[in-house]
Amino acid sequence: MDRAAAEIRIANLVPELNRHSHLYHTLDAAEIDDRTYDLMYRELELLEMRFPDLVRSDSPTLKVGGGAVSELAEFVHRIPMLSLANAFSSEEIADFDGRCRKNLGDDAPEAITYVVEPKLDGLAAELVYERGTLVGAGTRGDGKVGEDILHTVKTIRAIPSKLLGDRVPDRIAVRGEIFFDLAGFEAMNARRVARGEKAFENPRNAAAGAVRQLDPAVAAERPLTFKCHSFGEVEGFEMPDTHSAQLQVLAGWGLPINELNQSATGADAVNAAIAHLGSLRHGLPYEIDGAVVKVDSIPLQAALGFITRSPRWAVAYKYPPPQVHTLLQAVGFQVGRTGAITPVAHLRPARVGGVTVSRATLHNEDQVRQLDLRVGDTVVIERAGDVIPRVVRAVDDAAHASRPPVTFPTVCPECGSPVDREGDQAVLRCTNALACPAQLRAGLRHFASRGAMDIEGLGSKLVDQLVDAGLVRRLSDLYRLTYEQLVSLDRMGSKSAENLLEALEKSKGRPLERVLTALGIRDVGEATARDLSQHFHTIDALSAASRDDFAGVSGIGPVVAERVAAFFADPRHRGEIDALRELGVRFPEVEEGERITGGVDLGGQVFVLTGTLPTMDRNEAKKRILAAGGKVTGSVSKKTDYLVAGEAAGSKLTKAEELGVTVIDEAGLVALLAGV
Ligand code: IVH
């Protein structure tokens, strides 16, 4: 893939991954399965590795999970809760072992000893004990700040409120997984159904929902349990120097640890342990989605250290998701916000991974061709944990060849306009923009969404009603809606109508970057919208800018520049912007005080971060370097310009000193960024 293609792909992947991460971590409402997410994430990682200068400041590879939102209080992790890199095959486990040995260099033992643990599919949590008493509990959140869940955690019987014994630390932050065991989950669902309530779809979401309840009484009705697998800060206690011995210490305090943890030395033994766990998997009383492999020795862990998002000394092996066979009854087509036409498989309903599936996404035409899917085929579908399943392949049968291949629409299935395929891209697009009702609906939903105009009360159902009733044909029509029109709609009371008009009025003053996001320019998400508004300050300057002007904005490459220029050059869009202004949308100028200044240009200099910085966390430092045009890599080499070293800097510092790389501390970095 060349640079331009990578840039487009990254521009698509980043907002998509961020959206799914938010759906998964914050809203407990995943739309895609974990494996699809992991594959997309992996693709992004590879692209970013090949084109490090295309790493965007909003890339999910720079953070860990979704943020804390709800009415729960914040819970700060003194040491960030990290996430794990994934592996999907025994080869990747062998690679992981090889990397560990290579990174340890001369310090590597003959064969490394690992602990192989079940990867519980629950909700990550941290429990804080002070002098043996449970005093705090939080969800992982974004890794640094989660939500305070002490009130619900106190209702979980597996979690001791006091540690056993009298040799306990002054303070310890124990980490583990809160989950349902399957029997408890089923029993709870049976009780719910008996009471006329809806059964929960899967244990993970039900656990997340229960723990984040505001009312502990509701949580207490749900039979949650807990197992711990690690810890954060410890004060006033000397922990042993292997992970396995540390777990034994935790167990001695009465904390539940997993009874299936295994020790394994060398890659083959690790793979055997993973396979053993896999063979037990479906008979276990709880769900596991993989195995976590950790270097046992703490000194070796310390020598291996971390990369931005995860430790180098551990990896999560993901078991393949459950699969079933079913019939492909038809292929339908869906039109998205940017006009992309996505094929959708209509299936004979089948149970897979605990839910009934009747639809699956097929991504694009290339995928359908590659899989050579034909209506009437028996297909293998899989579903890993969450909602939208995928079609893996068609099962070979004699009649397959006699079935006609799937035909793709030559006109938009929603509005009948011609379709287009850009360059050699696999995606078919409706060319009718917002004149296509499907694009209009999706565009309106986006316009009203949180990160855009944030119009409360304008949800999917209402958008459909407004479009179907012909009241809204373009974005600006929203601001033409009258009270009389609104109350004439089904199920719209006078109070809701008033509230909506008020919300619309309120949205007119949204900052320029949000309005830009709301316009739905392809490949312009929140981060690019911010870059644009910070650079141009006014809608007039944006409208007057040329492609070259856009390409000059830091963070924007030639392809996105072209798109933005084309958007503003289109008379339909200019007309919409004028209409929005006439109707009162203010497109506020980015005032002096809101401008992010001090923009030094690090001119592509290469930084490596190591150790704990006193005030900035590593992601923050990385973001600021990237934003100033610098690059951040993971390892020190002759090409490194600066090593930013914090407390407990290890092998990287030694290496930098050997190579004569300039070593600076946080204050030095701040000074550089400020252009001092
Ligand atoms: S260790 C720095 N061990 O998987 C490593 N994590 O993708 C910290 N998880 O958020 C995690 N079972 O909540 C570890 N035996 C286990 C685990 C486990 C499940 C979760 C954990 C973490 C996620 C990592």
pLDDT over 60 (residue 649): yes
Q: Which atom of ligand 1 is nearest to the CA of 314?
A: 5
pLDDT over 70 (residue 62): no
pLDDT of residue 557: 81
Two tokens, residue 593 = 């005080």
Length reported for the chain:
676
Residue with CA at minimum distance from ligand 1 atom 22: 83
**Block residue for tokens 């609906």:** 441
Q: Which atom of ligand 1 is nearest to the CA of 123?
A: 13
> Does residue 623 have an active-site annotation?
no
Contact by Cβ (8 Å): 104, 303: yes
pLDDT over 50 (residue 68): no
Contact by Cβ (8 Å): 650, 305: yes
- Ligand 1 centroid from CA 331, angstroms: 38
- Ligand 1 centroid from CA 293, angstroms: 10
pTM exceeding the 0.85 threshold for the entire prediction? no
- Ligand 1 centroid from CA 117, angstroms: 9
pLDDT tens digits, 278-292: 999 878 889 888 999
- Ligand 1 centroid from CA 292, angstroms: 7
- Ligand 1 centroid from CA 609, angstroms: 24
Q: What is the mean pLDDT of residues 147-163?
A: 90
DSSP category for residue 287: -
**What single-letter amino acid sits at 39?**
L
pLDDT band of residue 67 (cuts 50, 70, 90) is very low
Q: Which atom of ligand 1 is nearest to the CA of 121?
A: 19
Torsion sign (Cα): 189, 191, 193, 196: negative
* Strand, helix or coil for residue 243: helix
pLDDT over 60 (residue 141): yes
- Ligand 1 centroid from CA 557, angstroms: 36
Contact by Cβ (8 Å): 185, 159: no
- Ligand 1 mutation pick, 77, 177, 247, max ligand atoms within 8 A of CB: 177
Q: How many CA atoms lie within 13 A of 488 on its CB side?
A: 9
Residue with CA at minimum distance from ligand 1 atom 2: 82
**Block residue for tokens 């033409």:** 480
Edge to edge, the sheet with strand 288-295 lists 86-87, 314-318, 288-295, 113-120, 262-265
For the ranges 594-608, 616-630, 658-672, the one whose mean pLDDT is highest = 658-672
Q: What is the mean pLDDT of residues 181-190?
A: 86
* Strand, helix or coil for residue 414: coil
Q: Which atom of ligand 1 is nearest to the CA of 119?
A: 12
pLDDT over 50 (residue 322): yes
Euclidean distance between the first and final Cα of the chain, in Å? 39
Q: What angle do CA 574, 580, 584 make, to 5 degrees?
A: 145
- Ligand 1 mutation pick, 84, 140, 262, 301, max ligand atoms within 8 A of CB: 84
Give the residue among 500, 499, 564 at the shortest CA–CA distance from 531. 564
Residue with CA at minimum distance from ligand 1 atom 21: 124
Cβ neighbours of residue 278 closer than 8 Å, sequence gap 6 or more? 291, 319
- Ligand 1 centroid from CA 83, angstroms: 7
pLDDT of residue 381: 92
Residue with CA at minimum distance from ligand 1 atom 11: 83
Return mean pLDDT, the chain: 88
Instruction: Name all residues whose Cβ lies below 6 A of ligand 1.
Output: 82-84, 117, 119-120, 124, 140, 177, 229-230, 292, 311, 314, 316
**What single-letter amino acid sits at 381?**
I
pLDDT over 60 (residue 386): no
- The stretches of 282-313 forming alpha helices (DSSP H) are 298-304
pLDDT of residue 597: 59
pLDDT tens digits, 206-222: 888 888 877 777 777 78
Of the residues 63, 119, 227, 652, only one is catalytic, namely 119
pLDDT over 60 (residue 271): yes
Separation of alpha carbons 532 and 587, rounded Å: 13
672 vs 242: which has the higher pLDDT: 242
Q: Which atom of ligand 1 is nearest to the CA of 82?
A: 2
**Block residue for tokens 């949205």:** 507
